[in-house]
Amino acid sequence: MPNMPTLYPGDSRPDPSGNESLEKRDKTYILHPFTPIGEWENESPMVIAGGEGSRIFDDQGNAYLDGTSSLWVNLLGHRHPAIDRAIQEQMEKIAHSTFLGLTHEGGIRLAEELALRAPGNLQRVFYSDNGSTAVEIALKLAFLLRRKDHPEARRFFSLERAYHGDTLGAVGVGGINRFHAPFYPLAHESLKAPAPDCFRCPLGLSRDRCSIDCADVAVRTIRRHGPELAAVILEPRLQAAGGMIVWPEGYLTRVSQATQEEGVPLILDEVATGFGRTGALFACELEGIVPDFLCAGKGLTGGYLPLAVTLFSEGTYRRLKEDPGIFYHGHSYTANPLAVAAARATLRELEKGRHIPEIPRKRIIFEKLERKLKNLPFVGNIRSIGLVFACDVFADATRKHPANRETMTGIERRAQSLGLIVRPLTNTLYLIPPLSISFDDLILMGDILTESIRGSSPNPAG
């Protein structure tokens, strides 16, 4: 007998006729990320067939506003003519060649363009292909630097409810128990302090003292463990995956001062916050902070192709050149030329389109939305930064108990049926539209969000 693979009940072999529905084939061959497996199997998935501007279309011809920017990556809308063209033009030359020991014009020019726009002295770039790898690279480089003077420094400091990606180094500094705790036995778990979540303060601090008292806890930990620390890693001003935690102003400044005093490298993970989402090109610029390492990804290519960068200073570069003289880290698709072309076009359009300067005017729509949501008894903790808006949904009018998964899924479905894609994070609902969204579409997003919550509340009011 030849060695036959074991077939389980329900197993099927590829159907060469191609007559099966897409849904059936999806469920036969795919495991989806961050998706409850059983629920997926029992539901009809939405099959995305296209997109245009702030909308995506399913294969039934329905249009939906992209309320998550396709999970925080899309910056200037789908099928942006200039980005499309840049990729097509690059395709005429070459789709990919290695960056190990070779270089290419696009990679060089993008590095220069990033150096011109990056905060402070961050003029060197190490390319990779996703946010998690950009973080791994920063962790490794920080460790290499720090061990020169502090051979015992091998711990990282990060925040509870932090999210830095899903590779094991990133999981070690991650702090979302649901996602990360199962893998801690495999990871290098960091030292942690509470996230500065003024609404849901785990320390019971008063809201107006949050940036001071909460920062004190982090600062004390950093001081106490300074010599052991290889780096401090933070998501400046907005912990997105951790529940759209908008930091109080000043927290970043205080913690960053402590890292400077201790000489501990500061890594800022701007994978979610970079390229304008928070109202500045990079969130650290809101407080004039320049980190030792800045990680960016997601919006870098306008949400078109996987590309990420880890930025650092010339001083860091020189020290690495001295010792170890080579960085044993790289990815097959480092600085992929198609992705680089998309990133260069995105940067050009971002500046031309005045998308960032327009954010304060768009935030007036958020203010109106906040006033409407405040009338709903089950909604609270309304917060926003830049073009990111979030609120929490509760099980009752005391706003103490978070709404359950069923309620949140109900809201998500209702939003979909009204033409808006949202993806709740536990009981948090948020909007992260493309920066290019029109004023009318932004108003519509807010209206649908409100309507979806109202229609799903056990006791609709207002």
Ligand X SMILES: *Cc1c(COP(=O)(O)O)cnc(C)c1O
Give yes or no for residue 265 binding ligand X (CB under 6 A): no
Q: Which of 291, 297, 424, 433 binds ligand X (CB under 6 A)?
A: 297
Residues 220-239, interacting with ligand X (CB under 6 A): 235
Rounded to a whole number of angstroms, the minimum distance from the CB of residue 72 to ligand X is 6
Nearer to ligand X, 90 or 273 (CB): 273
Give yes or no for residue 132 binding ligand X (CB under 6 A): yes
Segment contacting ligand X (CB under 6 A): 146-154, 157-165, 277-285, 441-449? Answer: 157-165
Q: Which of 176, 240, 286, 437 binds ligand X (CB under 6 A)?
A: 240
Minimal CB distance residue for ligand X: 131
Q: HSE (CB half, 13 Å, CA atoms) of 259?
A: 29
Residues 398-437, interacting with ligand X (CB under 6 A): none
Rounded to a whole number of angstroms, the minimum distance from the CB of residue 239 to ligand X is 8
CA quadruple 101, 106, 109, 113: dihedral positive or negative? negative
Cα–Cα distance measured from residue 164 to residue 234, given in angstroms and rounded to the nearest whole number: 9
Rounded to a whole number of angstroms, the minimum distance from the CB of residue 299 to ligand X is 10
Rounded to a whole number of angstroms, the minimum distance from the CB of residue 69 to ligand X is 12
Give yes or no for residue 135 binding ligand X (CB under 6 A): yes
CA quadruple 76, 78, 79, 84: dihedral positive or negative? positive
Segment contacting ligand X (CB under 6 A): 53-61, 127-135, 397-405, 419-427? Answer: 127-135
Segment contacting ligand X (CB under 6 A): 160-168, 312-320, 325-333, 413-421? Answer: 160-168
Strands (DSSP E) contained in 53-169 are 55-58, 63-66, 124-128, 155-159
Q: Which of 165, 172, 226, 302 binds ligand X (CB under 6 A)?
A: 165
The 3-state DSSP class for residue 157 equals strand
Segment contacting ligand X (CB under 6 A): 129-137, 345-353, 376-384, 417-425? Answer: 129-137
Nearer to ligand X, 90 or 130 (CB): 130
Of 226, 291, 286, 301, the closest CA to residue 262 belongs to 226
Residues 338-367, interacting with ligand X (CB under 6 A): none
Q: Which of 107, 119, 131, 276 binds ligand X (CB under 6 A)?
A: 131
Of 22, 73, 68, the closest CA to residue 45 belongs to 22
Give yes or no for residue 388 binding ligand X (CB under 6 A): no
Residues 63-82, interacting with ligand X (CB under 6 A): none
Q: Which of 87, 210, 272, 376 binds ligand X (CB under 6 A)?
A: 272
Nearer to ligand X, 235 or 412 (CB): 235
Lookup result for tokens 């920017």: 69
Q: Which of 54, 128, 130, 416 binds ligand X (CB under 6 A)?
A: 130
The CB density around residue 462, as the number of other CB atoms within 10 Å, is 12
Nearer to ligand X, 383 or 454 (CB): 383
Which positions from 241 to 260 touch ligand X by CB under 6 A, shown as an x/- string? x-------------------
Nearer to ligand X, 107 or 274 (CB): 274
Give yes or no for residue 271 binding ligand X (CB under 6 A): yes
Q: Using CB under 6 A, count the residues that bind ligand X.
A: 15
Cα–Cα distance measured from residue 229 to residue 108, given in angstroms and rounded to the nearest whole number: 33
Rounded to a whole number of angstroms, the minimum distance from the CB of residue 238 to ligand X is 9
Give every CB contact of residue 319 below 8 A, 6+ residues apart in sequence. Answer: 145, 148
Residue 372 in tokens? 């409407």
Lookup result for tokens 């084939």: 25
CA quadruple 122, 128, 131, 132: dihedral positive or negative? negative
Q: Which of 64, 99, 127, 163 binds ligand X (CB under 6 A)?
A: 163
The 3-state DSSP class for residue 65 equals strand
Q: For residue 297, how far is the Cα from the chain centroid?
A: 8
Nearer to ligand X, 298 or 331 (CB): 298
Strands (DSSP E) contained in 113-254 are 124-128, 155-159, 191-193, 229-234, 238-239, 245-246
The CB density around residue 409, as the number of other CB atoms within 10 Å, is 15
Cα–Cα distance measured from residue 254 to residue 261, given in angstroms and rounded to the nearest whole number: 11
Nearer to ligand X, 64 or 72 (CB): 72
Cα–Cα distance measured from residue 217 to residue 193, given in angstroms and rounded to the nearest whole number: 7
Phi-psi region of 361 (alpha: psi -120 to 50; beta: other; left: phi over 0): alpha
Q: HSE (CB half, 13 Å, CA atoms) of 318?
A: 3
Write out the residues near ligand X by the rule CB under 6 A. Answer: 130-132, 135, 163-165, 235, 240-241, 269, 271-272, 297-298
